[in-house]
Amino acid sequence: MTAQRQDRFRSILLPRNRGLLLDLVVFVSNLFLMRFLLKLFFDIIKHATAGEFWAEFAMFLFCLSLLVLPPIGATLKRWHFHQRLKGKQVAGEDGMPGGCLFNPIFYFCLTVLIFSAVNAFIFQFFYGNREPGEAVFVSSIFIGLALMIVHTYLVYRYFTPPKTAPKSSFLLGPRSEFIGDICLFTNMIFFTLVWNLLSFSGLPRPDSVEEFLGRLFVLCFLALLLYFPPRMFYLADDIHRRRTWLTILLANSPLIMRVLIGTSSDTRW
């Protein structure tokens, strides 16, 4: 390997290129890991449906992770992100770095869906098939609303430059950003797992142009729901680079091909 190629490879690992690295990780996962991970995921769902404690607990942790990993990652990376920008604003005239892709209302609605899944597992764990009672149900709604607002606030605070340096030496050190990246990468892999449920569902080949275009529309909608929210932390860093949209397309190309062309109709898990 020449020195120039070595430098190019090392540059992928730099903090400013985390989005590129994330897209490459997703691409490799889509090619080689997703079929195995989805089989494991479906096995856990099957055992959870049968009422097995550890399977139910694993599903609860999975849904909970989608709720806690983004704000933790955003909090750990925020100082380092804005230090790297050196005072440059990432928000546009509407206050968002990339328009509707960064809209907090859209993100809040996604958080509502995730919390609903977490809340359902909590009720299933403590009450089983029994009704929890009106007081418990109403309390969970208000507590969940407060948690979702805090979650969205912590995520979108990431895009606002901090006025003062963190008091914690840990948040100032490089280790905090590294752990934050681990949280955000893990969150993306979990979202990609859900994103791939469609591609391995045994779709037949499209038999008309209308069906092909319909699948393309569904893919675009699901991309807004499942790929851009966990990707936006790094998209704020590289949204103006022309290669960014190509690497995002590359990352999802295995999934796109499976959905648009179709997979075997007799797929078995």
Distance CA 65, CA 123 (A): 17
Tens digit of each residue's pLDDT (9 = 90 or more) over 143-197: 889 999 999 999 999 988 888 999 899 999 999 999 999 999 999 999 999 888 8
Q: At what angle do helices 53-85 and 174-195 cross, to 10 degrees?
A: 130
Triad 243, 244, 248: Cα angle to 5°: 115
**For 41-66, b where at least 16 C-beta lie within 10 A, e where not — what string?**
beebeebbeeeeeebbebbbebbbbb
Rounded distance between C-alpha atoms, residue 155 and residue 108, angstroms: 10
Instruction: Say if residues 243 and 251 touch (Cβ distance below 8 Å).
Output: no
Q: Is 129 helix (H, G, I), strand (E, B) or coil?
A: coil
pTM to 2 decimal places:
0.85
pLDDT at residue 265 tops 50: no
Q: Is the pLDDT of residue 228 over 90?
A: no
> Are 90 and 159 in contact, with CB atoms under 8 Å apart?
yes
d(CA 122, CA 128): 9
Distances (CA, A) of 248 to 71, 80, 133, 208: 22, 24, 46, 27
In the prediction, which pLDDT does 202 show? 67
> Where does residue 268 rank: exposed (0-12), middle (13-18), buried (19+ CB within 10 A)?
exposed
Q: Report the chain's C-alpha Rg in angstroms.
A: 20
Q: CA-to-CA distance for 17 and 84, rounded, in angstroms?
A: 12
Residue 251 CA to residue 262 CA, distance in Å, equals 18
Please tell me the predicted confidence (pLDDT) of residue 110.
84
Tell me, what's the pLDDT at 84? 84
